[in-house]
Amino acid sequence: MPGVVVLGWRSGASCCGILTARELQAPGCRAAQRAPHREAVGGGGTEWRPAGAGLGSSGPGCDSPVDGSAMSGAGAAADRAAFVGFFPRVLRDLTADGLQHPEVGDAVARLKEILEYNTPGGKYNRGLTVLAAFRELVGPEQQDPESFQCALTVGWCIEMLQAFFLVADDIMDFSLTRRGQPCWYKKEGIGLDAVNDSFLLQSCIYQLLKKYCRGQPYYVHLLELFLETSYQTELGQALDLITAPSGHVDLSRFTVQRYKAIVKYKTAFYSFYLPVAAAMYMAGIDSEEEHANAKAILLEMGEFFQIQDDFLDCFGDPTLTGKIGTDIQDNKCSWLVVECLHRVSPEQRQLLEENYGQKSLEKVAKVKELYETVGMREAYRECEESSYHRLEELVEKHANCLPKAIFLGLAQKIYKRQK
């Protein structure tokens, strides 16, 4: 039988970022203890599988850095099915008080309706990222049913955090639709009661973490991570609201620096860093250095994602995005207006000042026409390409002892997305 070499991952290596056996033994590299190493079968090809899983015939080589990982097609489909299938259990756990304490039965029935309407139905990218990252970061012996159940739970906690933010954000932005249906506050009989409903969604996160993760060594890390991420996102929302107050258009506020700050705090921390950081803590990775490396990549990815969102708000197909864009009439500091301000003539800037942040559909149309005139579609295409290459460079630089597949898989999911 051919000899076996256990491989991990490193930045700067040829062919999928492979770590040699000597590098795995180097001080400071924790990949040997925690990562889902692959086994290379000598003398006829490479077979990618978790270390210790047994050897079979030669595989496809290393054509792709995510080949054979949890982010591949079959693994991703299985994880998605397991994730979606876990929601009924989450729902039962969170509404059990209605049976145990009849005096709050009406409130718990309302909670059930809130959860069913606002939590499922999205793309589940944040929740599924927890599962994919967890599988990449731990060996097969740690992927037991209890650990996977905790990962499912944490994934749904992030989806509930997302639901909490969206319910509140839709109220503040006077949005009409979300995920192809009326926003929660727009439903008959809901209105501003949705404010308290958003609080309930946030509280559910900590109920679930307590039930499923309280006995785990990473429990406190998760609590602090969710609390810190909520705070960061709320600071980002405050920046967004301060920068673009309703009824007061001041284009001088729309700077690149302010846009980057809003995006970093309002979107990037909770959408990209949180799912991966949670998986890292669950895998026993708590060093500040490794979290800083992950954050450097993921915050940049979050900015790329928000630029896409801003473009799709204006130019996307509502039947695909599931929402009607309102950034122009809401006076938002979006990437489109920030970039447009660098391209307009004085006359065009005056037109923008007269029409941006207005509810009139005619004025919204004039802003969109201006975007077309100054070439914002082409500017976006160029930005998308350069951002993706920048992400590749960051992965090469910072994914030292962390699997590149985590970051490349995320980037591939959002690259050229239409919704």
Task: Judge contact between 276 and 155, C-beta under 8 A.
Answer: no
Q: Which residue has the tokens 């059930």?
A: 112
pLDDT (tens digit, 9 = 90+) per residue, 177-220? 898 899 999 999 999 999 999 999 999 999 999 999 999 999 99
The span from the CA of 151 to the CA of 173, in Å, is: 33
Give the list of residues 6+ apart from residue 419 with CB closer than 8 angstroms, or none.
123, 312, 316, 320, 321, 322
Q: What is the dihedral of CA 88, 89, 95, 98, to 10 degrees?
A: 100
Check residue 267 and give its pLDDT: 94
In this predicted structure, the answer to whether residue 66 has a pLDDT above a threshold of 70 is no
Q: Quote the DSSP letter at residue 184.
A: G
Other C-beta atoms closer than 10 Å to the C-beta of 56 total: 9
Distance set, CA 322 to CA 17, 78, 237, 308 (Å): 38, 25, 22, 15
The span from the CA of 272 to the CA of 266, in Å, is: 11
pLDDT (tens digit, 9 = 90+) per residue, 252-294? 999 999 999 999 999 999 999 999 999 999 999 999 999 999 9
More confident residue, 417 or 280: 280
Check residue 74 and give its pLDDT: 76
Check residue 419 and give its pLDDT: 63
pLDDT (tens digit, 9 = 90+) per residue, 236-258? 999 999 998 877 889 999 999 99
DSSP for 47-63, written as a single string: ---BTTS---S----SS
Check residue 159 and give its pLDDT: 98
Check residue 375 and give its pLDDT: 96
The span from the CA of 334 to the CA of 341, in Å, is: 11
The span from the CA of 267 to the CA of 2, in Å, is: 49
Instruction: Report the mean per-residue pLDDT for the chain.
Output: 83
Other C-beta atoms closer than 10 Å to the C-beta of 187 total: 13
Range of lowest pLDDT (99-103, 170-174, 204-208): 99-103
The span from the CA of 196 to the CA of 215, in Å, is: 30
Q: Measured at the alpha carbon of residue 74, what is the angle toward residues 82 and 269, in degrees to the nearest 5?
A: 65
Share of the chain above pLDDT 70, in %: 82
Amino acid at 399: A
More confident residue, 322 or 386: 386
Active-site residue set: 123, 164, 169, 173, 178, 240, 266, 305, 309-310
SS3 at position 268: helix
Q: Which long-range contacts (CB under 8 A, 24 or more apart) does 340-347 make?
A: 340/370, 340/371, 340/374, 340/376, 341/251, 341/254, 343/374, 343/375, 343/376, 343/379, 344/370, 344/374
pLDDT (tens digit, 9 = 90+) per residue, 16-31? 333 333 333 344 444 4
More confident residue, 45 or 318: 318
In this predicted structure, the answer to whether residue 78 has a pLDDT above a threshold of 80 is yes
Range of lowest pLDDT (8-12, 147-151, 367-371): 8-12
Closest CA to 200 of 238, 163, 150: 163
Model confidence band, residue 56 (pLDDT cutoffs 50, 70, 90): very low
| Model confidence, pTM | 0.80
In this predicted structure, the answer to whether residue 5 has a pLDDT above a threshold of 80 is no
SS3 at position 1: coil
Give the list of residues 6+ apart from residue 251 with CB closer than 8 angstroms, or none.
337, 341, 349, 352, 353, 356
Model confidence band, residue 418 (pLDDT cutoffs 50, 70, 90): low
Range of lowest pLDDT (75-79, 166-170, 371-375, 378-382): 75-79
More confident residue, 351 or 20: 351
Check residue 355 and give its pLDDT: 95
